[in-house]
Structures are given as structure tokens and as C-alpha cells.
């Protein structure tokens, strides 16, 4: 593996989330293992034909086009880095084409499903301790009410909130900040969460560890007193959702419900923190699909 310098390559991915770096490492390791079986000792020994043979083999093995495209993207980035760092004379990925794969539309919850998630009607959530339930209420109202990414929510601190002004400051990808409106239910949910902490402190009770309104720490913490993680958020949704879903679906649902309600695409782009309107445009397809389903089910001539 030393000839491939996998550790050095992964260390260079400073702008990626740890979960993304793990995917890059896994995909690169799979290619290195294949290259070893083909007697390719390092990046300098790899040619474009080798890469085409590898990707064609993945397709024959039944990998989905999107997975093949992702693995090709990892190799493009790796070999670009290998060329820049002097580990190969030229980039064998130059001009390499791969199947793009069929685009998947984002998962969107119905309004009724969202209500059930926010109200915590599932049996799994019914036995939650009061303070944890209030924390979960606030977490889910923020995810759906402001369309936050899960990582953005986990990074929130009390100083980011302006409850009287119903606003929140969010740090997104690349450290870029944006100021977002808070929904009235989200303001109420966060206020109730804060009030419960203060009441527990006055009573001298052993409350679940968490931030207080004047704290500079994280806004949300788990049962062990650590900052809430994306995995913790997934567990919250697992307890509350009537059917299997994932936290990012609440962001998808936020965007789609806005467009269904008549919001313009540029406004949704700004709220989501997308650099390109093209990224936001996928939600117009979802919105049209939903409207078409409504027409077909409800209109006499649908």
C-alpha cells in the first residue's frame, strides 16, 4: 500500500466530512486490491485501459451505475492528486468516461407523515423521558422548519439562535454562514427545551446533560452529555417516524413543501445554502411529480 500512498491521499481531503473520507478510502482500497491482483505495483503503472477494465468489471459484477460512477470519481481525484504529487507522470483518468446512472429523486414525506414525526405519536417515542422528548421536538422542528442539514444542526450553539427575532445563524459547507428564519413551532419547541433545563436546574434534578440558553457549548447533547451526532439524530427519527426514513428526508421535504406552496426556486436555493440553482432544481421535479399524483387521484379526468 505504501506505493499507492493511500494515507497521504486521504489526509489531503481536508474539505470533506470524515464519512466521505471513509468512502474514498474504501473505494481506493478496493481498486488497489484489484490492481495488486493484476500486478500493477503503483499509480505510475496504471493506464487508461486498466481503469476501463476495472470499471467494466464492476458493471459485470452487478454494481449499480451510480456506484460505478462514484468509484470512478474517487479514482479521478486520486490520480489527479497522484500526478500533482509526482507519483505518476500523467493522469490516466483524463478522458475516461463512465455511466452517469439514473438520477434518484429525493425522498419526500407526506404532510401527514411529517405531522406524526413532529408529534411523536409512535409507540417507541411514547415512553421517552420529558426532557429528552422536548430535545427531540426541537431537533425535528429545526430540521423540517428551516431545512437544515444534519451536520448543521449538530453544530448549532445557543449563540446562533435569535428566538425573539425568530432567526438562526447556520454554518454550512465550506464554513459559509447563512441567516435563516425560524418557524413559529421551532421557536416554541426550543423555548420549551430551554425552560425545561432551567426548571430542572432550579429543582436540583439530574437533567439530561445539555446546553443552557447562556452556554457557549453545543445546543443539543445526547444522553452521555456529548454533542449530538448525526447518528444520534438518526436514532431520534427512528423512534419518531411511522415508517423507515432518514434525517435528510426532512430537508428534502422542507424544500418540496415550499415549492408546492408556491415559493420560487431562487428563494429555496438561498434557504438550503446551495451554491448552484441546478442543485435545487431537482426539487421542482419532485414537486411536479407530487402534483401530478394529486391530479391523477383526485381529478375526475386525471
Angle of CA points 138, 139, 143, to nearest 5°: 115
* Catalytic residue list contains 149: yes
Q: Which of 133, 221, 248, 252 is catalytic?
A: 248
Catalytic-role residue among 24, 144, 193, 283: 283
> Domain tally for the chain?
2
Inter-residue contact 32 to 6 (CB < 8 Å): yes
List the beta strands (DSSP E) in the chain.
161-162, 167-171, 177-181
Among 221, 239, 240, 251, which one carries the catalytic annotation?
251
Domain range for 10: 6-84
283 is catalytic: yes
Q: Which three cell numbers stand for residue 106?
A: 429525493
Residue 97 lies in a domain: no
Q: Single out the catalytic residue among 173, 231, 266, 289.
A: 173
Alpha helices, H only, 38-99: 48-60, 65-84
Active site residue 167: no
In this structure, the answer to whether residues 34 and 155 fall within a common structural domain is no
Which of 149, 197, 239, 240 is catalytic? The answer is 149
| 10: in domain | yes
Residues 188, 115 share a domain: yes
Q: What is the CATH number of the domain that holds 19?
A: 1.10.150
Catalytic residue flag (residue 248): yes
Give, in order, the Cα–Cα distances in Å from 86 to each of 44, 47, 76, 149.
Answer: 9, 16, 15, 37
The SS3 call for residue 186 is: helix
Over residues 83-111, the mean pLDDT reads 78
pLDDT at site 50: 94
Decide if 63 is catalytic.
no
Set of cell numbers at residue 291: 402534483
* Model pLDDT, residue 205: 55
Catalytic option among 25, 52, 188, 274: 274
- pLDDT tens, position by position, 119-150: 876 666 666 778 889 999 999 999 999 999 99
pTM over 0.75: no
Give domain status of residue 100, yes or no: no
Residue 37 and residue 121 in one domain: no
pLDDT digits (tens, 9 = 90+) for 9-35: 999 998 777 888 899 999 999 999 999
71 is catalytic: no
Residue 162 has pLDDT above 90, yes or no: yes
pLDDT exceeds 70 at position 291: no
Are residues 123 and 38 part of one domain? no
Amino acid at each position: 500500500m505504501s506505493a499507492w500512498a493511500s494515507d497521504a491521499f486521504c489526509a489531503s481531503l481536508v474539505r470533506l466530512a470524515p464519512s466521505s473520507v471513509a468512502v474514498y478510502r474504501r473505494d481506493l482500497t478496493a481498486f488497489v486490491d484489484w490492481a495488486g491482483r493484476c500486478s500493477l505495483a503503483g499509480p505510475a503503472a496504471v493506464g487508461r485501459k486498466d481503469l476501463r477494465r476495472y470499471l467494466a468489471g464492476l458493471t459485470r459484477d452487478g454494481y449499480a451505475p451510480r456506484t460505478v460512477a462514484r468509484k470512478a470519481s474517487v479514482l479521478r481525484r486520486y490520480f489527479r492528486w497522484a500526478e500533482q504529487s509526482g507519483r505518476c507522470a500523467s493522469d490516466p483518468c483524463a478522458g475516461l468516461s463512465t455511466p452517469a446512472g439514473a438520477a434518484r429523486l429525493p425522498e419526500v414525506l407526506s404532510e401527514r407523515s411529517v405531522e406524526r414525526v413532529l408529534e411523536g405519536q409512535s409507540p417507541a417515542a411514547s415512553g421517552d423521558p420529558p426532557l429528552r422528548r422536548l430535545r427531540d421536538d426541537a431537533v425535528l422542528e429545526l430540521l423540517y422548519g428551516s431545512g437544515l442539514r444534519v451536520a448543521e444542526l449538530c453544530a448549532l450553539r445557543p449563540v446562533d439562535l435569535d428566538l425573539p427575532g425568530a432567526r438562526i445563524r447556520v454554518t454550512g459547507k465550506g464554513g459559509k454562514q447563512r441567516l435563516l428564519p425560524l418557524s413559529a413551532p421551532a421557536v416554541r419547541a426550543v423555548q420549551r427545551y430551554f425552560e425545561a433545563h432551567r426548571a430542572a436546574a432550579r429543582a436540583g434534578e439530574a437533567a439530561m446533560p445539555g446546553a443552557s440558553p447562556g452556554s457557549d457549548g453545543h445546543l443539543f447533547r445526547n444522553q452521555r452529555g456529548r454533542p449530538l451526532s448525526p447518528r444520534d439524530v438518526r436514532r431520534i427519527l427512528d423512534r419518531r417516524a411511522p415508517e423507515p426514513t432518514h434525517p435528510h428526508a426532512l430537508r428534502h421535504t422542507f424544500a418540496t413543501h415550499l415549492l408546492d406552496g408556491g415559493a420560487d426556486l431562487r428563494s429555496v436555493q438561498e434557504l438550503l445554502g446551495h451554491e448552484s440553482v441546478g442543485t435545487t432544481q431537482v426539487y421542482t421535479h419532485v414537486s411536479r411529480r407530487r402534483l401530478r399524483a394529486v391530479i391523477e387521484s383526485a381529478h375526475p379526468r386525471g
